[in-house]
Amino acid sequence: MHPLTPDDPRAVGPHRLLARLGAGGMGRVYLARTPGGDLAALKLVKDDLAHDPEFRARFDREVRAARRVSGPFTPAVLDADTGAGVPWMATEYVPGPTLKEAVRDHGPLPAQSLPVLASGLARALAAIHGADLVHRDLKPGNVLLSPRGPQVIDFGIARAVEGTVLTRTGQTLGTPAYTSPEQVTGSGVSPVGDVFSLAGTVLFAAGGRPPFGAGDPIAVLHRILTEDPDYTAVPEGPLRDLLSRCLDKDPAERPDTAAILTALADAPAPHSGWLPAPVSEEVHRREHESGAAPAGTARWRRPALITAAAAALLLVGGGGYALTALPAAAPGTGQATGRQSGGAPAGADEDTLHDGAFASQEIDPQLWLADDLSFSADGERLHVTGPGSFSVWDWRAGEVTASLDPTPDGADTTPDGRVAAAHGDRIEILDDHGADPVTELHQSDEGIAHHRVPALSPDGARVAALATADDDFDDGNLLQIWDVEAGEATRTVELAGPLHDLEFTADGTRLVGTLTSRTGDRVLGVAVWDADTGEWLHYFESAGRMGFAVHPADPSAIALRDDGDRVRLVDLDTGEALRTMEPVPDDHDPLISLAFSPDGARLYAGVEDTAEEADTFGTVWDAATGETLRAGDALLSSPVAVHPDGEVVVSLNPGIQRLSILDGADLTVLHEAD
């Protein structure tokens, strides 16, 4: 990364340029900041190429091709303008070295990294080929290394399989050392040509040299046609055998990406430890250098604290959890108040509390630390969950009635009151909104000492959680799925990073979770797993901001908030969008929280909390049609919860410490407290 020079532009389109990342045959690549605060790699083509009609056609094809490819191993396109005087394209910024740079500076990758690399490259090619494209220039310089796996970049010479070849007569595309034999002879390109390049790239990672040597390009091309590569850097075994098949001179004998992934089925998933230490340090250095935790991205909230008003707790013997009734503190007294026989808090005007009115009391500070709200099935209780707390609220009276002790590392609840609370190497299961301990799930794996982000299935029979040996959750992250009755983990899945949110679908058959960067400051994407097998079903990649809500009535649907605040209803059977919600107003604050009405008919979006004394407005859609019902005048901040009968909608703005209770029908404000 280098500073901008006086000759560099300071902005391209709506994006502010920050530094130079490099240059290539097409032009310069800059580190840029998008209007939404995300970092991007912005490719600005050379002036002479900008005036070449053939190149402009190819660049336009590159952009359209890249937009068709999505997945965890290909950076997403954020923006582009192929019709500009100087065309450009902005993609997700990956703050890691190329494989070529990593091997040059730190030596070949260790043997344990090679299956992860090969599997990630195969998955990237599967996404490219699934869009009816061929990359045609896969090589170490077009592979970025990141904790979440290899990232395949530069579709600058990819072409649609069914499209017109845009190269000049006699021009050979691809880099000689990684070009397939049929590409050398001009016999045509196909997906298995990319497979040949994949294997050559893995051999380079293992041995530090191109598969067919270096030197004169004509000599290299001759060796590709007539000689076998040197496999000695790859340990004998299944991976070496697979690479040999991929490098067969006859394209008909090579496996496709599906066969490669089958052969690599036992390869570990990418995680922050898949790269050798020097390369990981290089990634972290680049993250720090670029400030790769963009302003406005998702973040972990600070751990919740139990305040004096919530300190009268009962500790169950054996270190378990329990909930005990908590009298609310009278404002300004520091004394606990009891309930009068009529049900109103002592000292409150009873006339203000009947028929669904609300007590005008000071709200307990614990509420402002919440990052999730949900109503009980009967609508009488509001469950308040934070990264380190769980409490039960009488929402009409505005007071805490119960809270967990000891403070958990995360908690979840079902509408009927079953609670899962994570604490160290165990997960506690309780009934009756936490008052009745049921069982403890003890971790049998000595390497796992911490759990967070527990999620209960709707029937309470299973619980899933993030598990790791590292209390900073920056290495070896796992998704564990437990059978509560059996008291054992039935599935363990390796993750590329920590989880920020985790939730079962309405029928309990699938899990949906938000994967974040190692530090938790940036969302990588939303993943969907089969809850029975642990199989990764879908992955929706993010450029920094993403969120979801599971549909309460349709187990095959989720609402997905994309980067740029586009909201889609997604079919989990196919991974395709069922509909896209109408855009929110241009001047709205960033959307953070999504919540369905209990019947799934409405979708509510709360905006990011703010520290300013200003109204913040969310949006409401008809989930069946995507039509906007309210936009710009609904006081919805994040998080949001909808009452089971639609009576009220509760919204928090922790930034200015404001609780809003809105009419469920027209979203007029019924009550505010701060």
Annotated binding site: 43
Strands in 364-457 per DSSP E: 372-375, 381-386, 389-394, 399-405, 410-413, 419-423, 426-431, 436-442, 450-456
Assign 323 to helix, strand or coil. strand
**Residue 289 has what DSSP assignment?**
H
Going from the C-alpha of 555 to that of each of 230, 508, 512, 547, 599, the distances in angstroms are 51, 8, 11, 17, 12
Q: Report how far residue 37's alpha carbon sits from residue 543's, in angstroms, rounded to the nearest whole number.
A: 11
Place of tokens 């920050």: 18
Let me know if 137 is a catalytic residue: yes
CB atoms closer than 10 angstroms to residue 194: 30
Nearest to 568 by CA among 540, 538, 531: 540
CB atoms within 10 A of CB 72: 22
Report the amino acid identity of residue 627: E
Cβ(393)–Cβ(355) below 8 Å: no
Ordered DSSP codes for 14-38? TEEEEEEEEE-SSEEEEEEE-TTS-
- The one catalytic residue among 8, 79, 105, 137: 137
Identify the three-state secondary structure at position 58.
helix
Residues annotated in a binding site for ATP: 43
Cβ atoms of 88 and 42 closer than 8 Å: yes
Rounded Cα distance, 386 and 371, in Å: 5
Instruction: Tell me the backbone φ, ψ of residue 420, rounded to 5 degrees.
Output: -115, 125
Task: Return the residue matching tokens 């963009």.
Answer: 294
Catalytic residues: 137
